[in-house]
Amino acid sequence: MDEQRFIAYYRVSTDRQGRSGLGLEAQREAVGQFLAGKTATVTAEYVEIESGGKSDRPKLAEALEACERHKATLLIAKLDRLARSVAFISALMEARTNFLAVDMPHASRLVLHVMAAFAEHERDMIRERTKAALAAAKARGVRLGTNGVFLAQQNKAHAAKYAEGLREAFKAASEAGARTTQQIANYLNARGIPSREGGRWHPANVARVLSRLRA
């Protein structure tokens, strides 16, 4: 069997994380576990220190060029290590570069596009909820500043805590054979598990929880 070649791409959000290895080692471990036992090799690796919301990634550009040069596949630990921008994922797809996300190794390009869209939508929703909370606080006469940061962190923490409470249910859905967001939604609805809003599950809110559990 021919050996499959990969170019590993890792991203950390801050220079401090880059120096300390925080987040980087977890990504390397995920990639290592994925490749264990496979006839594959990592030809090169590139580390980007950049914000996830930006598309100007010199190291990613180098990694993509290396993929073309070595006829290799771009390998990342998590889809959000590339970007939370559907436009960025679309551009990557148009480049015809094969890429694989360890947390979704069997996902098609369409699924990756949809997941990126959900991640971008969630980011926009968090931004809007934070703006609404800040406006309400200001209307009550609360002085903003550190309060704004606190409200944003609180909103994010609540979403993460809610997702964590559903981890076992999502794990059970997976063990029962649910693979797509629609199948997971059907599983949760059949067992009477309400969504965060108290209603039914749909692919969109399933994807948002999956994004939180994989963060």
Catalytic residues: 13
- On the CB side of 136, CA atoms within 13 Å amount to 7
Alpha carbons 132 and 60: distance in angstroms, whole number: 35
- The first and second tokens of residue 176, run together, are 């029962």
Alpha carbons 70 and 65: distance in angstroms, whole number: 9
Residue 48 CA to its chain's centroid (Å): 16
| C-alpha closest to that of 125 among 182, 204, 56 | 204
Burial of 162 per CB tally in 10 Å (0-12, 13-18, 19+): middle
Burial of 86 per CB tally in 10 Å (0-12, 13-18, 19+): middle
Give yes or no for a contact between 83 and 16, defined as CB atoms under 8 angstroms apart: no
